[in-house]
Amino acid sequence: MKVLVAVKRVIDYNVNVRVKADGSGVETSNVKMSMNPFDEIAVEEAVRLKEAGIADEVVAVTVGSAASQETLRTALAMGADRGIHVVSDEELQPLAVAKVLKSICLEETPDLVIVGKQAIDDDSNQTGQMLAAMMKWPQGTFASKVELNDSKAVVIREVDGGLETVGLSMPCVVTTDLRLNEPRYASLPNIMKAKKKPIEEKKASELGVDIAPRLTVVNVSEPPKREAGIVVEDVSQLVDKLKNVAKVI
């Protein structure tokens, strides 16, 4: 069984993101970048399937600039067998990434594709769903548990009211939620070994898919600054403030 995992290079989740002065986006120069945390969970799940003898091969795919290779190397150091780097100097929107992943799926014919439920930079939560739709494959989104047996995937999903269990025929797409697993840190020997693992490079513009953006970012702004709180003297004053100042009751 072959597992394909998508990994995106994003601003590290610990970084205090700064909006560019002209409102065109956020500052990425001289900012620490890392693998999207939900994609670390995707890689971990795929590697565990390999360690359990269920998967034979784990292929990591990234779509992005030359620097994204670093993210692929992290996936390889965590245990993926090989990488595919779809090079694009433009930041691709989720629809375009889904089309690129579709083209890779048609070539690689994986049994299972695992992607993050969302990339923490654009918070789109779209790529996995669009890929599944375009491949006409079933999808198990927001997975907090995945079990594979008899060419079926059983996915426990985190939904508003609790947990939902769905059975999917394979090939299928699974998107990871936070509680699926705790990703490992790559050990130094594995980081060294990962340097020798193969990475195939392809140009996004040469895959024959329409990657033109469909959305224009009109403006990016910082959230309003939180105002200082006040100390109220008693419950009636609290109720008054909630009713007449905050207008929440």
Chain contacts with ligand AMP (rule: CB under 6 A): 6-8, 36, 38-39, 42, 62-64, 92, 94, 97, 115-116, 118-119, 122, 124-128
CA gap 48, 146 in Å, rounded: 11
- Minimum CB separation of residue 246 from ligand AMP in Å reads 32
CA gap 114, 45 in Å, rounded: 8
- Minimum CB separation of residue 189 from ligand AMP in Å reads 26
CA gap 32, 10 in Å, rounded: 9
- Minimum CB separation of residue 153 from ligand AMP in Å reads 17
- Minimum CB separation of residue 50 from ligand AMP in Å reads 18
- State whether residue 85 is helix, strand or coil: strand
Q: Write out 6-67 in H/E/C secondary structure.
A: ECCEEECCCCCCCECCCCCCECCCCCCEEECHHHHHHHHHHHHHHHCCCCCEEEEEEEECHH
- Minimum CB separation of residue 129 from ligand AMP in Å reads 8
Closer residue to ligand AMP (CB): 12 or 122: 122
Q: Which two tokens stand for residue 235?
A: 């419950």
Closer residue to ligand AMP (CB): 42 or 194: 42
Closer residue to ligand AMP (CB): 36 or 81: 36
Closer residue to ligand AMP (CB): 64 or 138: 64
Closer residue to ligand AMP (CB): 206 or 242: 206
CB atoms within 10 A of CB 219: 9
H/E run at residue 131: helix 127-135
